[in-house]
Structure 1
Amino acid sequence: MWFKNLLLYRVHGAPEIDHTALDEVLGDHAAVALGSADARRLGWTPPAGRAGNGQYVHDIQGHRLLSALRQERLLPAAVVREEVEERIADIEQAESRRVTRQEKTALKEEITEALLPQAFIRRQKIDLWWDSRGGLLGINAASRPRAEEVLDLLRETLGSLKVTPLSAQTLPIRAMTEWLGDPGSRPADMRLGDQVELKAKGDDGVLRARQVDLDGDDMQQLLESGRQASKLALGIDGRLNFVLTDELALKSLRFGDALIEEADHADDGDDALARLETDFILMAQALADDTARLLEWLGGEARTGDAA
């Protein structure tokens, strides 16, 4: 249940919908099996699986848990290319002519359509945390395009939804570079990790380092040469550890031992659904608190208005 990544969005004027009505509309856009000609599909799935008795949303104290199921057929480009090349060779030999570009395109489409039903299917469950009272959305996805797919599905499900990526008054790349270069600028409850990514202003590429002393002389020399921190491992006073990116995304989330122990000691009676909901509300409250604290570190939230 515990999120590994977090892409954050601000919700603007969300439609009023209670969790019962929301469950119904999510069910109307539920995931269905891929058809033989489908390359990919995205639909809602019960977060608790079979233990959830078909429940598509869990709403606890205003924190909502939703899950999307992404299905995609994996058809390697090399397989298609090889089949196309063989067909082209056969045509050119049989008809003593060159195959045109238009014919090659048509052949590729025909072969892709023929091979698609035989392709393996990859299924990925993508969880979404919706703080309906705080107006935040957080998606457990490693990339922005994956998160945007889920947001598009949510917009389609609700009819409309205005959101913008969460942004701060101070650009993360500027703040991370300052924290890295000046220990005195770090908030009292900030803990510096041992992972960093530095970007050069010119064409010197990106430098990535793990398990290093970020307060060492080598790091200071790199910063003095003009490099900026585009990713930085941070912790919030033992509660949450993560890698902050220049897009204000949180990667490689690790929750504090005290929170995990609280979840482990919760009396759920070995009920899988109760376990999921306990873990979720503890995680959601921690993410809400720590997102607010992170925004404080960055000078507060930058309001961008009701843009879609």
Structure 2
Amino acid sequence: MWFKNLLIYRFTKPFTLSPEQVEEKLHEHAFKPCGGQDMSTLGWVKPLGQQGSELVHTNNGCIMVCSQRQDKVLPASVIKDALEEKVLTIREDEDRVPSRKERLDIKEELVFDMLPRAFVKSRRQFAYIDPKNGWLVVDCGSHNRAEEMIVLLRESLGSMPVIPLAAKNTAYHTMTEWLKVAPPSGFELGGECELIDSADEAAVIRCKNQELTSKEILNHIDSGMLVKKLALSWSGGLEFMVDDQLVVKRLRFSDLIMERAEDVHTDSAAEQFDVDFSIMNAELASFIPALLEAFGGEDTSHLEAA
């Protein structure tokens, strides 16, 4: 359950639905497995899995949700081989070459026949709503994948007025300055970064397991390169990589935090989930403002215009 990535969205209007109201609305879009001819399905599942009974889990005022996507696995190579075999049979039995339209029709028939027997793969996506702080936090490193969940939330709840969290200062220049001078109070540099050429973003240098303030790296910066991704640690007990869009990846909670969760006596996986979620959202409630402050504070111009 511990999030490994953070995509943070800001509500442009207060979130006023109660957990009970969210639960009721999510039920209308509960997950259903793929039917015979479905290529994919998407819906809500219980965050606690078989240990849970509801589609939401609440702690510290935060509302955890979980979506599940199921896709049929029908490799293009399998369809291609079956199509070529069918075309070959027609050529041998009827002494003719199928037209392009006929090949397309045959392909559609093959897909129709194969879909009910295709394997399926599933993936789950966790997120939680923090009404007090006005955030939607998604455990995802890609805005495209997160958008899929946000669209489902919007369809389920009627609206989901969120935009990506934004800072006042430009991340490129801010992180570059941290390497040249020093990181902000409460943060320490890690051993990894990615640099891009300010004149040509296709030019990329990746540095791993290195002293980021070394002369070699600073020479690249002096030549005009900027920091796109940077490994950091936060004094609150987190290690992570942050990029120019404020997307947090490879998030790791310190051993001390994990031990706090393990020290709480629980009698079931559901109780342990509740403890973990409580500790995690409390830590992130401190970390997210600290991260924003490091980038000059939150850009609230979009809120003022809303």
Deviation at 1:14, TM superposition (A): 4.6
Structure 1, unpaired ranges of 5+: none
2:298 to 296, 301, 308: 301
Q: Which amino acid is 2:173 matched to? A: R
Distance (Å, rounded) in 2 between the aligned partners of 1:4 and 1:44: 21
1:255 aligns with 2:253: yes
Could you list the per-position Cα deviations for residues 153-191 of structure 1 after superposition, in whole angstroms to 9, with x for gaps in the alignment? Answer: 1111101111111111112222222212x133x212111
TM-aligned CA distance change 1:160 to 1:204, over 3 Å: closer
Q: CA RMSD in A?
A: 2.1
TM-aligned CA distance change 1:24 to 1:223, over 3 Å: same
Q: Report SS of the residue matched to 1:175.
A: helix
Asked if structure 2 preserves the Cα contact closer than 8 Å seen for 1:190 and 1:234, the reply is yes
1:225 aligns with 2:223: yes
Deviation at 1:227, TM superposition (A): 2.0
1:211 to 209, 212, 218: 209
Q: Which amino acid is 1:209 matched to? A: C
Q: Report SS of the residue matched to 1:260.
A: helix
What is the TM-score with the length of structure 1 in the denominator?
0.91
What is the TM-score with the length of structure 2 in the denominator?
0.92
1:87 aligns with 2:70: no
1:49 aligns with 2:52: no
Equivalent position of 1:286 in the other structure: 283
Equivalent position of 2:77 in the other structure: 78
TM-aligned CA distance change 1:187 to 1:105, over 3 Å: same
Distance (Å, rounded) in 1 between the aligned partners of 2:87 and 2:221: 55
Mapping for residues 74-153 of structure 1, pairs under 5 Å: 74-92=73-91, 94-153=93-152
Structure 2, unpaired ranges of 5+: none
Residues paired across the two proteins, number: 304
1:194 aligns with 2:170: no
Deviation at 1:13, TM superposition (A): 1.9
Could you list the per-position Cα deviations for residues 78-132 of structure 1 after superposition, in whole angstroms to 9, with x for gaps in the alignment? Answer: 2222223333344455555554443343333332222222222111111112111
Q: Which amino acid is 1:231 matched to? A: K
Mapping for residues 153-192 of structure 1, pairs under 5 Å: 153-180=152-179, 182-184=180-182, 186-192=183-189
TM-aligned CA distance change 1:217 to 1:100, over 3 Å: farther
Question: Percent of aligned pairs with the same residue?
Answer: 36
Distance (Å, rounded) in 1 between the aligned partners of 2:171 and 2:15: 31
Distance (Å, rounded) in 1 between the aligned partners of 2:110 and 2:120: 18
Distance (Å, rounded) in 1 between the aligned partners of 2:201 and 2:130: 41
Asked if structure 2 preserves the Cα contact closer than 8 Å seen for 1:12 and 1:306, the reply is no
